[in-house]
Structure 1
Amino acid sequence: MTPRSLLGKFVVGILSVFVITAGGLGVAVTSGMLTVGQPTVEEVRTDWGAVNPETSEIRTEIDLHNPSSVGVPGVADVTYAVGMNDVTVAEGTSNNVGVPTGESTISLLTRMDNQKIPAWWATHINNGEQTTVSIQPAISLPLISKNLPAEERSFETNLLGAFESNETQTMTAGERTVLRVTETDAEWGEATEERTPLNVDATVENPTSGDVAFSQLGYTITMNDVTVAEGTTDGEVNVAPGERTSFSIDSTFDNGKLPAWWESHVENGEQTTMDVQFYATVDENGETKKVTLPFLSKRVVFTTDVLGGGETTTKTVPRTEATEFEPPKLQSVESEWVVPETGNTGIRTSAVVQNPNQPGSLFADRLSVDANYRVLMNDVQLVEGQTSQTLDSGRSDLELSGDITDREVQQWWVGHVNNGEETDRVVERDVTVDAGFARLPVGGEAERGTITTDMLGPVDSNSTLDFSVAGRQVGTVSGTQAEWGDATMAETPIESSAVVKNDQAESIHITEIGYRVTMNDVVLADEANERDIEIAPNSEKTIRDTVPLDNSKLGDWWKTHLQQGEESTLSVEYYVIVEYQGYTERVELDALNYEKSVTTDMLGNESA
């Protein structure tokens, strides 16, 4: 997950102050004798945790890299308060924060008080549906206490936009038009912690030959099926034949229901469907009928991103039932690699979606689609692409793409090697249609598979090689072994060994060990190391060496791998320099030398 929260950003700032303070002290104490570098924040992940009507957990994880040889002790206390329009909704403290050397993760947990939601909601409404989220952090060190500057961001909603219309609509009783509605509008009253007034106005015409009398008006307002307002209004609205008039319907939110709504809002990915339904009773020719008011009844879907600072959306959706709706179908998905001459490689995915709803129908004009493509390798997200667009009637072509950085290639490679040359592959192709009243997935299930390789398999541990110096056979090489060490982001070690036997009456010496490892002619290792290894007469010794593959070259190799249809040739060459009776000879270690063809199928087109 990418860095997404104000809380995460503030903790990063706090740790920066902490590290500078403690790191500087470390440098002073050691007088430069130790390696001290500035720690960096690799990733910040923040999301909602458990939520109930009382509290909402905010969970933050911060991945740190401290290149210093000295860790920062856990002596700092971090406090923070989260405010929404100056209503403090969450307060937390993290004690004994420290930064060890190398990679580490700091986890923070605070609980948002959902009982503060009514107070915040009142400020949101009274502020024109705008909210400013702020976090006030502070850090306490021994003998030091410091408040850090608060950071703020704002978001707004437009819940009443759906009621603002000058489009003429009709209301029927049975099959008879009883009213024409020429204008609607709505506005909030002054909200308090206990209640939120909502006033809806309508201008109507009576095309009939008799009076249309609304003896009573009723309303129900739900937010994610949580009823926040319901009731009836007093007073009669009478529209004379051929006349135009305006009337209002006043409703009131019970803000005590908002904590339950907030629970549903967070659990639903910060998305809410607000359903405002008004109805009236009509006295027509002595008969009373209950008639819904479609020109006032609205359904609004709004989303927020309180933690991430992303886009806030408000969308008016039809209140029509889904009986006339036929969901679109995902007809095909095709993916291909993109390998530019310079820059990151990537994946381009094309999808075809068929919308069977006819042009001009309600759902043909109101559908939108979200498409996502994701490739996971041993839980490393290798690539992700996404797109959103309106879905027309008939065929729609979608295209999405995503980049693969060299760092992501290295992360996958490290996981693949350390997992015994095995990768669990997950390819997700998600296409979701938003019909307003529901989000409908039309994509298939994720494709899962396993990629296995055996790059060190050709090493022949059973062979025996005779070697000579100056034309004279002096010994043998046997028992060759090669296995992977623990790979890191920087390098991938190959741990190799061989048994060298001296068959002569005088000592022989190994003065140099060299190696060269390439994949598709990209050199990952090429070194010669001087050694001073003596093998006594008529004895043997196990020679060990570590070949560190330079993982910074994996990005170059990756491009060649894709260009060659996900196929690579691994070439490994070893040699030793042997000295005997003043003569030297280069001996190729044939049992360790080989070429190996390696293929993968990252996109899941065929078995790997």
Structure 2
Amino acid sequence: MTARKRILVLILLASLLITSVFTLLPFAFISVNEIDLYWGKVTPETAEIRGIATIFNPSIIGIPLSNMVIDLRIFMNGIEAASGIKRGINFRAGESKINFSVFLDNKNIPKLWISHLRNNEKTTVDVKVHLFLDVSFWKIYLATFSKRITVETDILSNLQSNRSIEISIIGSFYIIVKSLSFSWGEITNEVTEISSNLTLYNPNMIPLTLSKIGFDIQANNITIGEGETSLSIILKPKSQAQIDLKAKIYNEMLDDWFVTHIKNGEVTVINIRFFSILKIGKTTLKIYLGDYSEKIKTSLLRSRK
């Protein structure tokens, strides 16, 4: 290549570089300053997450571009829960508010539930926003923004009870629930196990025979689990017994519950109802040993203040 050709090539490259610099200069200092998220429409299949991105354009001119893209991704304990993009964003000079929506597939709720429990009832929500130009076969990233929200629960703690509760059986006969405790058991992709320990006291002058005991679990009036055990325990007069039993939450039911949780302002009432089959002499009765409830409130998209 002759010296003259080399000079022409250098001039051409310099021209392209200068053109690129001046083309991209208006975008050089654009920033995403904040992202506000809130729940939109919730259906049995999806939960809409609406976002408002605050974008600052320091240029004195507005920038309307069809190939300007904003990309939002939401991760929960490292699992991508929702993602989406919006193309054709117009910025005015100064601050702009950009509205967009992404959707969470409710079928992912069981997987997110499992990760929450296995992480000691803690979920880290990572919100990541990228602003870029989509030009032909390459992307020019202009700005990024991220924030982290930590969600912690203690679902079973308020269900524990050391308060004696008298349960009427028939006539003057009654039984006393002296204590109740819960703990998480085995967690699989299909079920979440809850272990329970129940202390019953027989204050009567005759023995009581327990042939079965169990409980069901409801979340916002949706039955998500149950369990019972067949046993043969004779509660002697003026004596007590400790009973261990297990129940299973069916993880596939949790997407139905999640819809009610979001529609209820991220509030869920967990209700556990115990029952027992017992015998007094030749009489067999089914009695309820009480309801135990706890209200759970989360804030998945916004940090609590």
AA at the equivalent of 2:271: D
Q: In structure 2, how many angstroms separate the alpha carbons of the residues matched to 1:248 and 1:163?
A: 16
Once the two structures are superposed, the pairs formed by residues 176-187 of structure 1 within 5 Å of their partners are 176=172, 178-187=174-183
Give yes or no for the alignment of 1:99 onto 2:95: no
Any unmatched runs of 5+ in structure 2? 1-17
One-letter amino acid of the counterpart of residue 60, structure 2: S
8 Å CA contact retained: 2:228, 2:245: no
Is there any run of 5+ residues in structure 1 with no aligned partner, and where? 1-24, 312-608
* Residues 1:241 and 2:241 are matched in the alignment: no
User: Which residue, 278, 302, 308 being the options, matches 2:296?
Assistant: 302
Give deviations 1:41-95, integer Å, cap 9, x for gaps.
Answer: 7985432111112110011123556463222343433333212222221121222
- Distance in 1, Cα, partners of 2:132 & 2:34: 24
Tell me what 2:158 maps to.
Answer: 162
Q: Return the TM-score normalized by structure 2.
A: 0.80
The amino acid of 1:84's aligned partner reads: M
Label 1:275 to 1:166 Cα distance change in 2 as closer, same or farther (>3 A): closer
Please name the residue that 1:89 is paired with.
81
Q: Distance in 1 between matches of 2:56 and 2:140?
A: 25
Instruction: Decide whether the 8 Å contact of 1:77 with 1:139 is kept in 2.
Output: yes
**CA distance in 1 between partners of 2:279 and 2:211 (Å):** 7
Query: 2:208 aligned with 1:216, yes or no?
Result: no
- Match of residue 135 from structure 1: 127
In structure 2, distance between residues paired with 1:247 and 1:56:
41
Instruction: Report the number of matched residues.
Output: 282
3-state DSSP of counterpart to 2:255: helix
Residue 483 of structure 1 corresponds to none
Secondary structure in structure 2 of the residue aligned to 1:241: coil
Per the TM alignment, residue 149 of structure 1 is displaced from its structure 2 partner at its CA by 7.4
Q: Which residue is 1:195 aligned to?
A: 191
Larger Rg: 1
Partner of 2:116: 124
Q: Distance in 1 between matches of 2:152 and 2:139?
A: 38
The offset of 1:170, in angstroms, is 2.5
Secondary structure, in 3 states, of the residue corresponding to 2:157? helix
Match of 1:60 in 2: 51
1:29 correspondence with 2:29: no
Deviation at 1:38, TM superposition (A): 6.5
Give the CA deviation at 1:125: 1.9
Residue 105 of structure 2 is matched in structure 1 by 113
8 Å Cα contact 1:171/1:178 also seen in 2: yes
**In the superposition, relative to structure 1, how do residues 42 and 87 fare at CA in structure 2: closer, same or farther (>3 Å)?**
closer
Who is 1:510 aligned against?
none
| TM-score (norm. length: structure 1) | 0.42
Distance 2:140 2:32 in 1: 23
Q: Measure the CA separation in 1 of the matches of 2:148 and 2:32.
A: 21
Q: 1:244, CA displacement in angstroms?
A: 2.6
Given the superposition, is the C-alpha separation of residues 123 and 62 from structure 1 closer, same or farther in structure 2, using an over 3 Å criterion?
closer
Does 1:265 find its partner at 2:261? yes
Alpha-carbon shift at residue 186 of structure 1 (Å) = 0.4
Alignment RMSD (CA, Å): 3.2
Deviation at 1:177, TM superposition (A): 5.1
Residues 290-322 of structure 1: CA distance to partner in whole angstroms, max 9, x if unpaired? 11112xx311111111111226xxxxxxxxxxx
- Check conservation: 2:122, 2:151, Cα contact below 8 A: yes
Over residues 519-570 of structure 1, what are the superposed CA-to-partner deviations in whole Å (9 max), with x where a residue is unaligned? xxxxxxxxxxxxxxxxxxxxxxxxxxxxxxxxxxxxxxxxxxxxxxxxxxxx
Q: Which amino acid aligns with 1:165?
A: S
| Structure showing greater relative contact order (alpha-carbon pairs closer than 8 Å, 6 or more residues apart) | 2
- Residue 46 of structure 2 is aligned to residue 50 of structure 1: no
The whole-number CA distance in structure 1 between the counterparts of 2:227 and 2:215 is 6
Query: Are 2:32 and 2:144, in contact at CA under 8 Å, matched by a contact in 1?
Result: no
Choose between structure 1 and 2: higher strand proportion.
2
- 8 Å contact kept, 1:65–1:103: yes
Equivalent in the alignment of 1:253: 249
Q: Which residue of 2 aligns with 1:561?
A: none
1:445-456 aligned at under 5 Å gives the runs none
Q: Equivalent residues in 2 for 1:320-469 (5 A)?
A: none
Aligned with 2:234: secondary structure? strand
Question: Are the aligned partners of 1:237 and 1:247 in contact in 2 as well (CA < 8 Å)?
Answer: no
Q: Percent identity?
A: 27
Answer yes or no: is 1:204 the counterpart of 2:200.
yes
SS in 1 for 2:123: strand
